[in-house]
């Protein structure tokens, strides 16, 4: 095992509105303090009562998915927690992932694409 799932991140136009929707649907706490994520106008989290975390990321000019329209597919990515970011990067690249964004400086996450092109982040625990 290389990583553990930290949360699922959904793109949206309004992070507050969507986090409240899922709060009413699933229960839990919106924007519970958690050192893994910084909160702000463009980012919100929902810590559900079961322990699962959903996150919401604001995207300018967001276009909602249209099921099953392939021109407007589902939009989400996985955040995967790792102990050693450099080692995990090495491992996922060997498995066929592509590095999309290493970030500037000592950022605690890096963005990759899986072999089919879906983005995911490795996040230092």
Token pair listed for 89: 């990067």
Spatial separation of the C-alpha atoms in residues 53 and 33, rounded to whole Å: 12
Asked, for residue 15, whether it belongs to a domain, the answer is: yes
pLDDT tens over the chain, length 125 residues = 999 999 999 999 999 999 998 999 899 999 999 988 888 889 999 999 989 999 999 999 988 888 788 888 878 888 999 999 999 999 999 999 999 998 877 788 999 998 878 889 999 98
Beta-ladder partners of 112: 99, 120
Asked, for residue 71, whether it belongs to a domain, the answer is: no
Asked, for residue 70, whether it belongs to a domain, the answer is: no
Spatial separation of the C-alpha atoms in residues 120 and 123, rounded to whole Å: 10
Spatial separation of the C-alpha atoms in residues 82 and 65, rounded to whole Å: 30
CATH of residue 49's domain is 3.10.180.10
Q: Which residues, 6+ apart, have CB-to-CB distance to 31 below 8 Å?
A: 19, 39, 44, 45
Q: How many domains does the chain have?
A: 1
Single out the residue of 50, 16, 20, 47 nearest to residue 33, CA to CA: 47
Asked, for residue 37, whether it belongs to a domain, the answer is: yes
pTM score, two decimals?
A: 0.76
- Residue 107: the pLDDT is 85
Query: Domain range holding 29?
Result: 4-60+76-124
Asked, for residue 86, whether it belongs to a domain, the answer is: yes
The two beta strands, 53-58 and 109-113, are: unpaired
């Amino acid at each position: 095992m290389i990583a553990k799932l930290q949360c699922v991140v959904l793109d949206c136009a309004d992070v507050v509105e969507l986090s409240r929707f899922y709060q009413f649907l699933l229960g839990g706490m919106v924007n519970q303090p958690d050192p893994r994520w910084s909160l702000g106008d463009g980012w919100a989290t929902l810590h559900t009562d079961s322990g699962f975390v959903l996150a919401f990321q604001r995207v300018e000019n967001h276009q909602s998915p249209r099921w099953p329209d392939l021109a407007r597919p589902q939009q989400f990515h996985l955040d995967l927690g790792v102990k050693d970011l450099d080692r995990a990067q090495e491992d996922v690249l060997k498995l066929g992932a592509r590095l999309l964004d290493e970030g500037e400086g000592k950022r605690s996450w890096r963005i990759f694409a899986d072999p089919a092109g879906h983005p995911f982040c490795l996040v230092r625990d």
